[in-house]
Amino acid sequence: DAKTTQPNSMESNEEEPVHLPCNHSTISGTDYIHWYRQLPSQGPEYVIHGLTSNVNNRMASLAIAEDRKSSTLILHRATLRDAAVYYCILRDGGYSGGGADGLTFGKGTHLIIQP
Amino acid sequence: DAGITQSPRHKVTETGTPVTLRCHQTENHRYMYWYRQDPGHGLRLIHYSYGVKDTDKGEVSDGYSVSRSKTEDFLLTLESATSSQTSVYFCAISAGTGGYEQYFGPGTRLTVT
């Protein structure tokens, strides 16, 4: 499986934008880039995903490099509630194993928000 | 929020006893997954299902079995619980693979004494 690399931790101030980077230099043409986050004592929460084009939803934006070897999750205006571990995960859109593909979680980025 | 519930939410059991955890969904999604989360390991896939009666093993399946007799329910059984199975267990659902997101339940904290 293609792997992702994220910084262990990042710190930001409340009400400022946050840019969380992810490197995935071995990404294949059929891999989707997924982002999840996990707040303390909760299950992981889906944030956003994309294939080639930048994506926006109510929670965040996903900027994908032209060569797809890196991506950035953008929180436009961080709040204290955004303090969580953020996971960047590749999921094969060409999966044809007949079964299902689970998510492979790394260690993610621990985002700290300062008031 | 996706309609996923897990039961029980907390359980303490003794070594050697069988334990069954239940995941219930109201979304009619085809795919269901069981993960465990331990400090220092992140989430790891135990078993998954791609339809009623269709299941397969994940990364850490030893000591666990699963069953799915209805679309909405996915059961995880620890045949003979061991202390190494003390963990937080998360269920997830998905409408598809690849370009589809997964939605996670609230988790079950299991302690094996």
- CA angle A92-B4-A72, nearest 5°? 40
Tokens of A84: 């969580």
Going by C-alpha positions, the residue among B70, B16, B66, B17 that lies closest to residue B45 is: B66
Looking at CA atoms only, how far is residue B51 from chain A in angstroms?
Answer: 9
Of the pLDDT bands very low, low, confident and very high (cuts 50, 70, 90), residue A98 is low
Per-residue model confidence (pLDDT) at position B41: 77
CA dihedral B97, B101, B111, B81 (to 10 degrees): -10
| pLDDT value for A69 | 96
Contact B48 A99 (CB under 8 A): yes
Kindly tell me if the per-residue pLDDT of A84 is higher than 60.
yes
Asked if the model's pLDDT at residue A74 lies above 80, the reply is: yes
Residues of B in contact with A104 (CB under 8 A): 45
Could you say which of A100, A105, A106 has the minimum Cβ distance to residue B97?
Answer: A100
pLDDT digits (tens, 9 = 90+) for A37-54: 999 889 999 999 999 999
* Average model confidence (pLDDT) across chain A: 92
Please indicate whether, in this complex, the C-beta atoms of A103 and B98 are within 8 angstroms of each other.
Answer: no
**Mind giving me the DSSP string for A28-59?**
-TTEEEEEEEE-TTS--EEEEEESSS-EE-SS
- The span from the CA of A12 to the CA of A97, in Å, is 41
Rounded to an integer, the average pLDDT of B88-113 is 93
The pLDDT assigned to A92 comes to 84
Tell me the residue length of chain A. 115
For residue A21, pLDDT beyond 70: yes
Residue of B61, B101, B109 to mutate for A, most A C-beta atoms under 10 A: B101
Q: Compute the C-alpha angle B40/A10/A26, nearest 5°.
A: 70
Going from the C-alpha of A77 to that of each of A91, A96, A114, B22, B107, the distances in angstroms are: 27, 39, 13, 37, 29
Q: Please determine, for residue A100, whether its predicted confidence score (pLDDT) is greater than 80.
A: no
Closest Cβ–Cβ partner in B56, B94, B106 for A43? B106
Query: Which of these, B11, B2, B1, lies nearest to B78 by C-alpha position?
Result: B11
pLDDT reported for residue B16: 97
Of A26-35, A63-72, A96-105, B20-29, the least confident? A96-105
Sort out which chain B residues have CB atoms less than 8 A from A95's CB and list them.
97-98
- The per-residue pLDDT for range B19-28, each reduced to its tens digit, is 999 999 999 9
pLDDT class of A96 with cuts at 50, 70, 90: low
Please list every residue in chain A whose beta carbon sits closer than 8 Å to the beta carbon of residue B105: 43
Q: Using the Cα atoms of residue B1, residue B3, residue B6 and residue B9 in order, give the sign of their dihedral.
A: positive
d(CA A36, CA A26): 20
Give pLDDT tens digits for B7-50: 999 999 999 999 999 999 999 999 999 999 998 778 999 999 99
The answer to whether B110 and B89 have CB atoms below 8 angstroms apart is yes
A49, A100, A103: residue with CB nearest B50: A100
